[in-house]
C-alpha cells in the first residue's frame, strides 16, 4: 500500500479527525453487535497514546431514507465507547457545528460527532421528483454538491490530520470519506483497520500466493458481474454457488425448476464459462443440489443432480458439490470468499455454506491465506463458529466487492501518498 498511515505522521499535540465505520446494529437504543467498534480501537488508542486528540465521525442507519430516529444517533455509540475504553467521550449534537467542541479538545481527549447522514449533503444523493424538469433536477444536484463541499470544508476545519479507518464506506465519495481530503491542510492517512483491509485484499487480487481460489455465492449473477469478469483474469479456480449458480446451470441447458434465474444474464454466463476455458481457469458449478418444494424452513427437501424438478427450487449445494468444492479449496494457498452457497439462515439449507466454511478454515491451518469478503459470508462464518480460523474477515461488504471488481475506492484514492 502506497498510502500514508497513522505511523507515518507526528501526532503529539495534533487534532485528528477520524472517519470510522460505527454503523452498528441498534435495537431500542441498545447496540447488538460491537464488532465494528472493536475494530477501530487500535487506531483510536494509537492516536491517544501518542499525544493526539481525536474527533470521531460516522454514519449510522439510513436516516436519509427512513427519517431521523433514536436508534440512529451516535450518542448511543459515544456512551458505549466511553464505557469500553474507560474514558469520557464528549459528544457534539451536530457534526456541522462542532467548531468550539473541537477547538477545546486537549491531548488524550475524544469527541464524537453526531451521525454524518443527518446532513443530506454528506451523501449528496438526490432522486428526481415527479414533475421536476431535467434542468431543475440538474440545478438541484449542483446545489447539493456545493453544500457537500461546504460540509467537507467544515469537517476539515476541526483538525490538523485526517484519518480514514472506515473501509466499509471507502467505496463512497461522501463528504466525510473523500471530499474532506481536498480541504485538509495536514496529511490524510489510513487507519490500521483500513491498512489491514487493503493489505489483505490488495495482495490477494494483485499478487496472490498460488493456487488462488475465489468462491462467489449469493442470489444474483448481476450483483457479481464485474467481480466474475475481473477474477477470471486473476484466479486459478473460480467456484460458484448460491442462487447465482442456477443462472449458469440454466445457461448450460440444465432444468432449474423454480430456482432463482436471471434470464437476461444467461448469455453473460455462457460468455464467462467460455472465457474461463480459454484462460485455463477451472470454473466449478454445482454437480448436485438440495431442492425444496417451497421457500420455507419447513419445506420438503431432496438431493438431486444438476437438474431441478419442475415446481421445486434449488436452495443449497448438495453433498457431492461440497466435496468437490472442499477439495479445490484445501489445495489453495490464497482463498477469497464472497457470498453464501445457499439459504444458510434456514437449517435445512446451511450444510453447503458451512461445508465450504470448514474447508476454508483449513487453508490458514495449512499455511495459506483465507479472506472473507464481507456481507453474508461474514455472517455465515460467525454462525459456523469458524471466524477465528480465517486469516482476515473484511469489515466492508460493498467496498470489498468493488475492490474485487478492480475498481478504485474513492476513500482510499483520496489519502496522501507515501
Q: Per-residue pLDDT for 367 more than 80?
A: yes
Out of 133-142, 143-152, 223-232, which region has the weakest mean confidence (pLDDT)? 223-232
Residue with cell 495449512: 366
Whether the domain at 6-195 and the domain at 208-405 fall into the same CATH topology = yes
Sheet holding 89-92, edge to edge: 89-92, 110-113, 53-57, 15-19, 161-164, 188-190
125-129 — which CB contacts under 8 Å span 24+ positions?
125/64
Query: Grid coordinates in use for 193?
Result: 483497520
Domain locations in the chain as residue ranges: 6-195, 208-405
Residue 215 pLDDT grade (very low, low, confident, very high; cuts 50, 70, 90): very high
Mean pLDDT value across residues 356-360? 96
- d(CA 170, CA 157) in angstroms, rounded, equals 21
Positions marked active-site: 36, 220, 375, 398
Distance of alpha carbon 94 from alpha carbon 274, whole angstroms? 54
Contact 151, 5 (CB under 8 A): no
| Mean pLDDT, residues 376-397 taken together | 86
At the topology level, CATH places domain 6-195 in: Rossmann fold (3.40.50)
**Which are the contacts of 197, defined by CB distance < 8 A and separation ≥ 6?**
167, 392, 394, 395, 396, 399, 400
Backbone angles phi, psi at 26, to 5 degrees: -130, 135
CATH code of 208-405, in short, is: 3.40.50.1260
**pLDDT reported for residue 378:** 84
Higher pLDDT, 374 or 130: 130
pLDDT higher at 378 or 390: 390
Residue 402 to residue 184: CA distance in whole angstroms: 26
Strands 15-19 and 313-317: unpaired
Burial of residue 106 (number of CB atoms within 10 Å: 0-12, 13-18, 19+): exposed
Helices (H), 124-170: 134-156
CA gap 3, 13 in Å, rounded: 23
**pLDDT for position 241:** 96
Q: Which residue's C-alpha cell is 507515501?
A: 418
Give 198's pLDDT tier (boundaries 50, 70, 90): confident
Render pLDDT for 14-27 as a digit per residue (tens, 0 to 9): 999 999 999 999 98
pLDDT of the residue at 317: 98
Asked if residue 374 has pLDDT above 70, the reply is no
Amino acid at each position: 500500500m502506497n498510502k500514508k498511515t497513522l505511523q507515518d505522521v507526528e501526532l503529539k499535540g495534533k487534532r485528528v479527525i477520524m472517519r470510522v465505520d460505527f454503523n452498528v446494529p441498534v435495537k431500542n437504543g441498545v447496540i447488538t453487535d460491537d464488532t465494528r467498534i472493536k475494530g477501530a480501537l487500535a487506531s483510536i488508542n494509537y492516536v491517544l497514546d501518542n499525544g493526539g486528540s481525536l474527533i470521531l465521525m460516522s454514519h449510522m442507519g439510513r436516516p436519509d431514507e427512513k427519517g431521523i430516529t433514536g436508534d440512529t444517533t451516535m450518542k448511543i455509540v459515544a456512551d458505549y465507547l466511553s464505557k469500553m475504553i474507560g474514558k469520557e467521550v464528549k459528544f457534539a449534537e451536530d457534526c456541522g457545528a462542532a467548531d468550539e467542541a473541537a477547538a477545546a479538545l486537549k491531548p488524550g481527549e475524544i469527541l464524537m460527532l453526531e451521525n454524518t447522514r443527518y446532513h443530506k449533503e454528506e451523501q449528496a444523493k438526490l432522486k428526481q421528483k415527479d414533475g421536476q424538469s431535467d434542468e431543475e433536477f440538474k440545478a438541484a444536484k449542483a446545489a447539493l454538491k456545493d453544500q457537500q463541499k461546504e460540509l467537507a470544508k467544515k469537517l476539515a476545519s476541526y483538525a490538523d490530520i485526517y484519518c480514514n479507518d472506515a473501509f466499509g464506506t471507502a467505496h463512497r465519495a461522501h463528504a466525510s470519506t473523500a471530499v474532506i481530503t481536498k480541504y485538509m491542510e495536514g496529511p490524510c492517512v489510513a487507519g490500521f483497520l483500513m491498512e489491514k483491509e487493503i493489505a489483505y485484499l490488495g495482495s490477494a487480487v494483485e499478487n496472490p500466493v498460488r493456487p488462488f481460489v475465489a468462491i462467489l455465492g449469493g442470489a444474483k449473477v448481476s450483483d457479481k458481474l464485474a467481480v466474475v469478469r475481473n477474477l477470471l483474469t486473476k484466479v486459478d479456480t473460480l467456484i460458484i454457488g448460491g442462487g447465482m449458480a442456477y443462472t449458469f446451470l440454466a445457461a448450460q441447458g440444465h432444468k432449474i425448476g423454480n430456482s432463482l434465474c436471471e434470464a437476461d444474464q444467461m448469455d453473460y454466463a455462457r460468455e464467462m464459462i467460455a472465457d474461463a476455458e480459454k484462460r485455463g481457469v477451472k470454473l466449478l458449478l454445482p454437480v448436485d443440489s438440495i431442492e425444496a418444494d417451497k421457500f420455507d424452513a419447513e419445506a420438503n427437501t431432496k438431493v438431486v443432480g444438476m437438474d431441478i424438478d419442475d415446481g421445486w427450487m434449488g436452495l443449497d449445494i448438495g453433498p457431492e458439490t461440497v466435496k468437490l468444492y472442499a477439495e479445490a479449496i484445501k489445495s489453495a494457498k490464497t482463498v477469497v470468499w464472497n457470498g453464501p452457497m445457499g439459504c444458510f439462515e434456514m437449517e435445512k439449507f446451511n450444510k453447503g455454506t458451512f461445508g465450504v466454511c470448514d474447508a476454508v478454515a483449513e487453508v490458514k491451518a495449512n499455511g495459506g491465506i483465507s479472506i472473507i469478503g464481507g456481507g453474508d459470508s461474514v455472517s455465515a462464518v460467525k454462525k459456523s463458529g469458524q471466524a477465528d480460523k480465517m486469516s482476515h474477515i473484511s469489515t466492508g461488504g460493498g467496498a470489498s466487492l468493488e475492490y474485487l471488481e478492480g475498481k478504485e475506492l474513492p476513500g482510499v484514492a483520496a489519502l496522501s501518498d507515501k
